[in-house]
Structure 1
Amino acid sequence: MRLLILCILVALSASVGTAVAPAGVLPKNSAEQFELAFWNSIKDSKQAGDYEAYLQAYPKGRFSALARARLQQLKAAPPQAQAPPQPAPGKPAAAQGQAKAVAKPQPDKSRAPPAPAATPAPGPAGSVATIKDCDACPVMVALSPRPFTMGSNNSDPSERPAHKVALHTPFAIGKYEVTVGQWRQCVQASVCPAMPSLGNVPDNLPMRDVSWDEAQLYLKWLSTVSGKPYRLPTEAEWEYAARGGTATRYWWGDQMKGGNSSCAGCGEPWNAERPPPVGSFTANPFGLNDMNGSVWEWVQDCWHSTYKGAPDDGSAWVDGSCQARVIRGGSWRENGSYMLSTTRFKYDASVRQSQNGFRVARSLD
């Protein structure tokens, strides 16, 4: 009898272990493992939108009952008192309050045509030249492409096969992820939706809780304001930029090392509730910040479960239904095993999730 009980306990223990820990760096390519990874990424969240996103994707999922209970609990909780607005860098809080009291409506300068300026030509591969097309535009880094190996044969199946990609067109990509302050300018122009979850979030945090479809609204607005064709980076451009000219697992080497990215257990600054301000960690060799961790970043490509048949010229892979789009780079809620330059995942293009953001790109030809 004791032996039978012991066997049952061992079996239960094994099943519990399987239910809470995804295998490998990323979940294996199956619906069950993707759902498990989704749940593990939000199970400690205090954002109602995260549980709504889970239920939209998995209305009859394994954790749907728990998600509904958490959602009901969060919506029933009394609203918390909002923190006072953060003072702008270099400006005393008192001065900000005075300015707010006497401020009058100002014309939307972001709609004015940008002053003509020559776009700096990117230098040799790996060199850094910054671009800022207009007052409202994010700072970008201009890159000259060269062939590189994309993906990995030693990690998750979705990253296979490792393959040569020959990028031919110079492009620019955001030095940082799009920030809350930059998104708010689009909201003020009545183009982008206001996000209730932002509240009094400081302007210098990365914008998140935004769907792929909503990111397109920002890009169209920015293209109109700047006169330049802004877009999301292709998945190949993103990985080329994230690697920073390296061929190692991370841009800093083959071993995880704290202090290089915003992720759980990867060093300060870190906060369980939200990512740190953009640029809080060292830039990679191309001068790009927060490619690893911070927030997952949307790219242009549709999701494919492997790289078999992927374009070899760095263009976006957009055949198929495209209901799911690719996100890259991990977020501050994941641990260091998600910070690899090859890490990729998928998300429904129309769904918001509090870990998902983006950075801008445009071609320079």
Structure 2
Amino acid sequence: MRLLILCSLMALAAVTPARARELPPTFQVAGVLPKNSAEQFELAFWNSVKDSKQVGDYEAYLQAYPKGRFASLARTRIQQLKAAAPQAPASAPAKPAESKPAGTQPQTKTAPKPQPAKPPDNKIRPIPATGTPPADGGREEAPVAGPAGSVATMKDCDVCPVMAALSPRPFTMGNNSSDPSERPAHQVALHTPFAIGKYEVTVGQWNQCVRASVCPTMPSLGNVPDNLPMRDVSWDEAQLYLKWLGTVSGKPYRLPTEAEWEYAARGGTATRYWWGNEMKKGNSSCEGCGEPWSEERPPPVGSFPANPFGLNDMNGSVWEWVQDCWHSTYKGAPADGSPWVDGNCQARVIRGGSWRENGSYMLSTTRFKYDASVRQSQNGFRVARSLD
């Protein structure tokens, strides 16, 4: 019986997206190999949070798997972290975070009315290869992208993220030599120009939505700089930010489709990574990928070079939500890059890996899933919108 269990665990580990340093040498694999199995996804979830110092990570596991195999360990870890947490001074007691169902919009009794966006100046500017988001809130606008494969920056309003405007061309999506979920590699013809965030949505940008009494606060992040990528956000909560941004800007913001995301991540290349077929340090935020790196949190957005489309942190940093519902393979996937929104829509696709994984997760084709209502400290997002 023990031999049977051991063999099962070894087979499971071979398809589990756990950090390589957490696995014995005999369990290490190259690449992310998730299969559409509830048991495998539970183990992947647990492996991603088991060393966390955030109570919310274990609560997220319990929300997804209240009777899971690691439920008792998660509850014990929560008790230990709460017991070790410093007590707030008596003169300024900490206000407990209000627990609300994912996707529930907070009350807006004191919410200021959103101001209409200023008219765009219709300027098109080249997008820089590196750098951080502009601090002056300057406006950049590209009403339409240029020829296929070209790039320009745009900014719809003062609080809107800087985006790259892309005129797409056909490309090969997926990977026949990696995980089964990335197969089959197939041609996708994106016909509609679209814009996608140059950076992931930042803590500062999210907090602007919080101050408008639309987005929930995230006490789990603590007091972190505004230029860090926003994370610990569920798919449902990302929708709140997108709706608020659409109200403020007057533009139809959304998450990118999975095909748009991969097209943008590849940056016009056909290699495993946008920089080539071999992992190289200094190109992405992940464990072993070079400085700056910390196990506790990702570095500020724009800390690493941008890809050929001028987009930062597509590989690593935080996993990014996309519009699509989860499918275990690409069989039957749309060929025009539209969102695949039938099937298991309780689970949504996340792309790109995170700073806690190693370089084998940084492939432009890497994909995984999470429950749309569940927060996880490694999950964030970037915005997109169509330009037609």
Which TM-score band applies after superposition, normalised by the shorter structure?
0.7 to 0.9
Give the length in aligned residue pairs: 332
Equivalent residue for 2:156, pick from 129, 133, 143: 133
Q: Percent identity?
A: 82
Q: Deviations over 1:62-91 (max 9, x none)?
A: 222222211111122232789xxxxxxxxx
Q: Give matches, 1:258-297, under 5 Å.
A: 258-297=281-320
Change (3 A) 1:22 1:213: farther
Asked whether the 8 Å contact 2:151–2:167 carries over to 1, the reply is no
Change (3 A) 1:16 1:361: closer
Change (3 A) 1:221 1:330: same
Q: Which amino acid aligns with 1:25?
A: G
Structure 2 distance, partners of 1:80, 1:146, is 56
* Corresponding position: 1:187 with 2:210: yes
* Corresponding position: 1:113 with 2:116: yes
Asked whether the 8 Å contact 1:22–1:37 carries over to 2, the reply is no
> Which residue of the partner structure matches residue 331 of structure 1?
354
* Corresponding position: 1:70 with 2:89: no
Q: CA deviation at 1:27?
A: 3.2
Q: CA RMSD in A?
A: 2.1
> Which residue of the partner structure matches residue 42 of structure 1?
49
Say which is worse superposed, 122-131 or 298-307, in terms of deviation. 122-131
Q: CA deviation at 1:124?
A: 2.3
Structure 1 distance, partners of 2:167, 2:88, is 48
Unmatched runs of 5 consecutive residues or more in structure 2: 14-22, 90-110, 123-140
Find the residue that maps to 2:354 and give its secondary structure.
Answer: coil
> Which residue of the partner structure matches residue 232 of structure 1?
255
> Which residue of the partner structure matches residue 123 of structure 1?
146
Q: Deviations over 1:91-138 (max 9, x none)?
A: xxxxxxxxxxxxxxxx96x93212111342212233221001001000
Find the residue that maps to 1:323 and give its secondary structure.
Answer: strand
Say which is worse superposed, 123-132 or 300-309, in terms of deviation. 123-132
> Which residue of the partner structure matches residue 245 of structure 1?
268
Q: CA deviation at 1:53?
A: 1.1
Structure 1 distance, partners of 2:29, 2:62, is 23
Q: Deviations over 1:150-182 (max 9, x none)?
A: 001101110000000000000000000000000
Structure 1 distance, partners of 2:29, 2:76, is 27
Asked whether the 8 Å contact 1:27–1:37 carries over to 2, the reply is no
> Which residue of the partner structure matches residue 214 of structure 1?
237
> Which residue of the partner structure matches residue 94 of structure 2?
none
Change (3 A) 1:17 1:163: closer
* Corresponding position: 1:360 with 2:367: no
TM-score (norm 2): 0.81
Change (3 A) 1:327 1:16: closer
* Corresponding position: 1:153 with 2:156: no
Structure 2 distance, partners of 1:236, 1:208, is 22
Asked whether the 8 Å contact 2:256–2:384 carries over to 1, the reply is yes
Structure 2 distance, partners of 1:62, 1:277, is 35
Asked whether the 8 Å contact 2:327–2:344 carries over to 1, the reply is no
Structure 2 distance, partners of 1:268, 1:115, is 39
> Which residue of the partner structure matches residue 25 of structure 1?
31
Q: Deviations over 1:302-328 (max 9, x none)?
A: 000100000000000001241000000
**Which of 1 and 2 has greater Rg?**
1
TM-score (norm 1): 0.86
Unmatched runs of 5 consecutive residues or more in structure 1: 1-7, 83-106
Q: Which amino acid aligns with 1:323?
A: Q
> Which residue of the partner structure matches residue 3 of structure 1?
none
> Which residue of the partner structure matches residue 303 of structure 1?
326
> Which residue of the partner structure matches residue 92 of structure 1?
none
Asked whether the 8 Å contact 1:22–1:33 carries over to 2, the reply is no
Asked whether the 8 Å contact 1:174–1:359 carries over to 2, the reply is yes
Q: CA deviation at 1:190?
A: 0.4
Change (3 A) 1:80 1:136: farther
Q: CA deviation at 1:23?
A: 5.0
> Which residue of the partner structure matches residue 366 of structure 2?
343
> Which residue of the partner structure matches residue 59 of structure 1?
66
Say which is worse superposed, 13-22 or 228-237, in terms of deviation. 13-22
Asked whether the 8 Å contact 1:126–1:285 carries over to 2, the reply is no
Q: Which amino acid aligns with 1:162?
A: A
Say which is worse superposed, 343-352 or 67-76, in terms of deviation. 67-76
Asked whether the 8 Å contact 2:193–2:387 carries over to 1, the reply is yes
Find the residue that maps to 1:111 and give its secondary structure.
Answer: coil
> Which residue of the partner structure matches residue 143 of structure 1?
166
Structure 2 distance, partners of 1:183, 1:264, is 26
Q: Which amino acid aligns with 2:57?
A: D
Structure 1 distance, partners of 2:374, 2:253, is 22
Asked whether the 8 Å contact 2:255–2:385 carries over to 1, the reply is yes
